[in-house]
Amino acid sequence: MEERIEPPEFPMARTCPHLPPPGYQGLRDQGPLARVRLFDGRSAWIVTGHALARTLLVHPDISSDHRNPRFPALSPGRRVLQSRKWLIGMDAPEHTTHRKRLIPAFTLKRINRLRPGIQDLVDRLIDEILAKGSPAELMERFALPVPSVVICQILGVPYEDHAFFEGEAAKLVTPGTPPEEMGAALSRLDAYLHELVERKRRAPGEGDGLLDELITDHLEHGDATPEEIVSSSLMLLVAGHETTANMISLGLLVLLDNPEQLTRVRENPELIPQAVEELLRFISTADILSRVAKRDIEAEGHVIREGEGVFFANAAINRDERWFDRADTVDIHRDARGHTAFGYGVHQCLGQNLARAELEIALETLLRRIPTIELAESVDQLPVKGASGPQGVFTLPVRW
C-alpha cells in the first residue's frame, strides 16, 4: 500500500537570502507536481518541473483571474492585494487590451535609449558611495535608487515623492504586513496616483512619461478609465523597483559569495549579459506565481481539479536538472536562456528588457569601479525576506 504523504505548508521559510527554501528539495523529490497546504487549510498544487511549468503556464484552463472566488492566496495580506484589479490578475481578452497599452514603453529599442541615462545614474550613485567611504550599505544607497529613479522617469512620477511610495510599496510586498495596513497602503497609493493623473490631465503637454501618454492616447479618447490607468501605474511603480532592487543586491551577493565566478566576470566584463541571465535563473527573485484551474486538467498522473490553486515555484523550476545541468550551481558560462525568472507565456514580465539593462549596468559598474568590494558581514548574518514575498535582503553591507 502506497504511503500517503502529508502536504507540507506553503509558502516555505527561507534560510539563505539567495537560495531556495530548503523545503523545495522535498517537493522536487516528489516529481514535477506535488501537493501543498496553505495558511487557510486549503490544499493546492505546486509545480517544480521546468517542462510542466512551461506547459501549464500557457494552458487554456489555467487562469490568472484574481476575481475567481477560488483563486488561491499565500497569506491574508495577499487576499487584500488580489481583491484589486491588476494586469497580472486578468485573463485574455481583457489582459491583452490592458497590456497592449503598456508594451510600447518597454520595447528593447526604447529601453536601449535609456541606457546612457541609467549609466549616468549608476555612476553618480557610486561617486556618492566612494566619497563617503567604506563601509557602505548598498541596498538603500544603490540597489533601490537605481530602479526607483528609472521607473519614475519612465512613468513621469516625481522622484521627490520616492520616500512615500517606496515606504508604502514595501508594505505591499513584505510578508507579515497586517491586511488592514496593506489595505491602507493601497488606498494611500491610489489617492496619490489619482491626484497625479488629474494634475497631468489639467496640464497636457507638460510631461512626457508613460502616464502622460496613457492620458493623451487612451483616457482622453475614452478607451481607458482613470482607475485603469492608476492600477497599471501602481503595478509598474511597485514591481518596477522592488524586484529589480532585490536582483541587484542578490546578484552582487551571489558573485561575492562565489569568488571563482566573480573573478571570471571581472576578467571578462563582456560576459556580464550572460552572467546576468544566469543570476536571474539561479536566484529567481520573483519566486512564486499563482494560478487557478478553470477546468479539470490531467498532469503527471494527477488531476488538477476545477477551482484548485496552482503555484509555480520559479526557484525550483529553474533548478530542474532535466533542463539545466548542475542546476544548483551558479555558472556564468552557462546558456541560461529558457529560465522562467520573468514568467512564461502572455504574463511574461513586461519590464524584463528594463530589468536586464539595469542589472547589467549596475553590476558591471560596481565591479569595475570598486574592484575590491566584499561583504562586510557573512551571508548567514543577513536578514532574509519572508517566504511569501520576493526573495531578497533588507540590507547589504559591503566594504572595500
* pLDDT score of 120 more than 70: yes
- Mean local confidence (pLDDT), 353-378: 97
Write out pLDDT tens, residues 132-166. Answer: 999 999 999 999 999 999 999 999 999 999 889 88
| Distance, CA of 114 to CA of 108 (rounded, Å) | 10
The model's pLDDT over 373-399, given as tens digits with 9 standing for 90+, comes to 999 999 989 988 877 778 899 999 999
Which of 181-190, 237-246, 250-259, 278-287 is predicted with the least confidence, judged by mean pLDDT?
237-246
The β-bridge relationship of strands 397-399 and 136-137 is antiparallel
With a pLDDT cut of 70, the percent of the chain lying above it is: 99
Q: Is 348 exposed, middle or buried, given 0-12, 13-18 or 19+ CB atoms closer than 10 A? A: exposed
pLDDT for residue 172: 86
Mean pLDDT of 328-354: 95
In the numeric block, which cell numbers belong to residue 141?
A: 544607497
Query: Average pLDDT over the chain, rounded to whole?
Result: 93
CA–CA distance, 245 with 354 (Å, rounded to integer): 12
pLDDT band of residue 176 (cuts 50, 70, 90) is: confident
- What distance in Å separates the CA atoms of residue 102 and residue 99, rounded to the nearest whole number? 5
Q: Give the distance, in angstroms, between the CA of residue 196 and the centroid of all CA atoms in the same chain.
A: 25
Residue identified by cell 515555484 is 313
Retrieve residue 168's grid coordinates: 508604502
Q: Which residue has the cell 540597489?
A: 143
| 15 within some domain | no
CA 208 to chain centre: 26
Give yes or no for residue 127 having a pLDDT over 70. Answer: yes
Q: Could you tell me if 334 and 324 are in contact, meaning their C-beta atoms sit under 8 angstroms apart? A: yes
At CB < 8 A and 24+ separation, what contacts does 107-110 make? 107/353, 108/353
Half-sphere exposure of 134 (CA within 13 A, CB side): 10
Q: What pLDDT band is residue 4 in, cutting at 50, 70 and 90?
A: low
Distance of CA 82 to the CA centre of its chain: 16
pLDDT of 3 strictly over 70:
no
Q: What is the mean pLDDT of residues 75-98?
A: 91
Residue 131, domain member (yes or no): yes
- Distances in Å between the alpha carbon of 106 and those of 7, 111, 166, 179, 270? 40, 6, 22, 32, 24
Whether the predicted pLDDT of 175 surpasses 90 = no
Supply the pTM of this predicted model.
Answer: 0.94
CATH number, domain with residue 278: 1.10.630.10
Would residue 29 count as lying in a domain?
yes
Q: Between these two residues, 175 and 334, which has the higher pLDDT value?
A: 334
Please report whether residue 12 resides in a domain.
no
Question: Alpha carbon 262 to chain centroid distance?
Answer: 24
Read off the pLDDT of residues 193-222 as tens digits, 9 standing for 90 and up. 999 999 999 988 888 899 999 999 999 988
CA distances from 317 to 12, 31, 79, 293, 341 (A): 15, 11, 25, 19, 9
Determine the pLDDT at residue 383: 87
Q: Cα–Cα distance between 385 and 346 in angstroms, integer?
A: 28
Residue 2 lies in a domain: no
Cα→Cα distances 349→22, 330, 345, 346, 355, Å: 26, 23, 9, 9, 10
User: Cell numbers of 314, please?
Assistant: 520559479
Specify the number of domains making up the chain: 1
Q: What percentage of the chain exceeds 90 in pLDDT?
A: 84
pLDDT given at position 224: 92
Whether residue 320 lies inside any domain: the answer is yes
- With respect to residue 172, please indicate whether it lies within any of the assigned structural domains: yes
Does 262 score more than 80 pLDDT?
yes
pLDDT value at position 295? 97
Flag whether pLDDT at 23 surpasses 50: yes
> Treating both helix axes as pointing N-terminal to C-terminal, what angle do 259-267 and 352-369 enclose, rounded to 10 degrees?
90
| Cβ pair 11, 38 in contact under 8 A | no
Find residue 63's DSSP bridge partners: 292
Under the banding of pLDDT at 50, 70 and 90, the label for residue 245 is very high
pLDDT at residue 349 greater than cutoff 70? yes
Domain annotation covers residue 4: no
Domain range for 338 is 24-399
Per-residue burial over 158-180, b if 16 or more Cβ lie within 10 Å, else e, is: eeeebeebbebbbbbbbeebeee
Report the range of poorest mean pLDDT among 52-61, 159-168, 274-283: 159-168
pLDDT band at residue 2 under the 50/70/90 scheme: very low
Q: Which of 289, 268, 322 minimizes the C-alpha distance to 58? A: 289
